[in-house]
């Protein structure tokens, strides 16, 4: 299968993943992968190195042994990476599978391939994801060894042979056509066909009358037998009628049905005996199984009864345990709430006790009182100074007032004295 044809198959199956052919997609990819591995000569380089048999057609499609399949998958991926010219150590049996898968996926991403699935799906060693990784690595390995896919060349068929076969199938003798027509007419009703026998009888009676009238006419002939045979051979090809074959003709379908029926009858005769033997063996096996089952049931009747009783007792015990567990959970919540409240009360009591035994507030009050006393003393001094200043101002005002009064009195006296004079 060429690379182009395989790509076309993948695209067709990807476009219709829900179709009936989607189930066979992994099998097709696995067969293509085996072809690519054979082109890379893995049977000589890989299988001999690993001391294992060549892979079968369904190795990475169906689950057989997940541990062995993962080891073969990782080893084959490492070999393909080395075929691309890069260094990659072969995984060992006790290596961490997660690190091995991570290293393989890193190399695949470097090839430009998008990984759209979880790496854990590669741990099983089979499936679509494993085939996807190995297929891309094998393509890159083929490109590294400069391998090129060639265009398939179909075999040249001889057109003359086909024409001869078609002509042989298309040529129908007139005798055969007449036989077929007579066979068809014989199956129909007498009123729907021509009465050829009546015509033949009428002709034969007319000929008999002629013979009876002229008996010498029948006995004499002027035709040479050799010339008659040659004329028959010459005319026979011209008497053949060529009919184009039509695939929708019911005769061809009927003939195919008869052939298929004959083939089925032959195969049925060969397989009927084997099927009868197989049926007899299966019936015996079923009878043995049923008898063995009845024996086992009879032997296990008492243990089954005890098992049912113990199961019932276990169910009751589980129910009691659930009820007790529910009460225990409620009490646990209540205990946690009480514990929280107790912690809050303890903290409040500690705060109050520390505030009662602490002397810092009293010291602060004493300091405040001393500071207030100092401020009062300063205010008293200021008040005294202000009173003294006011007293001096009053004294000065009195002296000035007395002086003014005396001056006025003197002026009045002088005015009066002058008046008197």
**So what's the pLDDT on residue 244?**
60
**In sequence order, what DSSP letters do the residues of 319-333 get, joined into one string?**
HHHHHHHHHHHHHHH
Task: Parse the chain into domains and list their residue ranges.
Answer: 3-144, 160-186+236-241, 266-305, 362-421
**So what's the pLDDT on residue 153?**
66
Phi, psi of 171 (to 5 degrees): -75, 130
Contacts of 243 (CB under 8 A, 6+ apart): 170, 172
- The CA-based angle 52-58-63, given to 5 degrees, is 85
- Report the run of H or E that residue 114 belongs to, with start and end: none
Contacts of 22 (CB under 8 A, 6+ apart): 13, 16
Query: pLDDT tens digits, residue range 83-109?
Result: 888 888 888 877 788 888 888 888 888
Residues of the chain with pLDDT under 70: 1-21, 152-221, 240-248, 358
The encoded tokens of residue 289 equal 């199984």
The Cβ of residue 312 has, within 10 Å, a number of other Cβ atoms equal to 10
**This prediction's pTM:** 0.36
Pairwise CA distance, residues 225 & 202, whole Å? 29
Query: pLDDT tens digits, residue range 47-63?
Result: 777 788 888 888 888 88
């Amino acid at each position: 299968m060429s690379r182009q044809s395989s790509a076309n198959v993948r695209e067709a199956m990807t476009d219709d993943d829900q179709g009936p052919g989607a189930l066979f997609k992994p099998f097709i990819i696995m067969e293509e992968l085996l072809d690519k591995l054979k082109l890379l000569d893995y049977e000589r380089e890989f299988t001999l190195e690993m001391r294992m048999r060549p892979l079968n057609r369904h190795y990475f499609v169906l689950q057989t042994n997940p541990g062995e399949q993962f080891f073969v998958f990782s080893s084959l991926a490492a070999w393909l990476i080395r075929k691309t010219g890069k260094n990659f150590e072969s995984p060992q049996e006790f290596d961490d599978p997660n690190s091995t898968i991570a290293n393989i996926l890193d190399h695949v991403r470097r090839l430009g391939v998008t990984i759209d699935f979880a790496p854990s799906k590669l741990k099983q060693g089979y499936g679509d994801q494993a085939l996807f990784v190995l297929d891309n690595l094998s393509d890159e390995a083929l490109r590294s060894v400069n391998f090129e896919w060639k265009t398939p060349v179909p075999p040249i068929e001889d057109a003359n042979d086909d024409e001869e076969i078609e002509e042989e199938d298309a040529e129908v003798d007139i005798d055969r056509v007449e036989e077929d027509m007579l066979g068809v007419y014989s199956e129909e009703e007498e009123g729907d066909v021509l009465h050829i026998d009546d015509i033949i009888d009428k002709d034969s009676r007319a000929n008999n009358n002629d013979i009876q009238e002229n008996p010498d006419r029948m006995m004499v002939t002027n035709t040479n037998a050799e010339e008659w045979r040659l004329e028959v051979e010459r005319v026979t090809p011209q008497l053949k009628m060529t009919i184009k074959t039509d695939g929708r003709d019911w005769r061809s379908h009927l003939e195919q049905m008869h052939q298929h029926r004959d083939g089925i009858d032959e195969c049925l005769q060969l397989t009927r005996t084997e099927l009868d033997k197989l049926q007899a063996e299966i019936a015996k096996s079923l009878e043995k199984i049923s008898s063995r089952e009845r024996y086992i049931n009879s032997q296990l009747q008492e243990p089954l009864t005890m098992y049912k009783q113990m199961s019932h007792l276990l169910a009751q015990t589980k129910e009691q345990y659930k009820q007790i567990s529910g009460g225990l959970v409620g009490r646990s919540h209540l205990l946690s709430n009480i514990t929280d409240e107790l912690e809050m009360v303890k903290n409040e009591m500690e705060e109050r006790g520390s505030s009662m035994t602490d002397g810092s507030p009293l010291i602060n009050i004493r300091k405040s009182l001393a500071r207030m006393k100092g401020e009062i003393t300063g205010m008293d001094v200021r008040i005294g100074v202000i009173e003294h200043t006011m007293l001096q101002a009053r004294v000065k005002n009195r002296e000035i007032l007395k002086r003014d009064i005396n001056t006025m009195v003197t002026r009045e006296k002088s005015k009066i004295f002058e008046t008197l004079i």
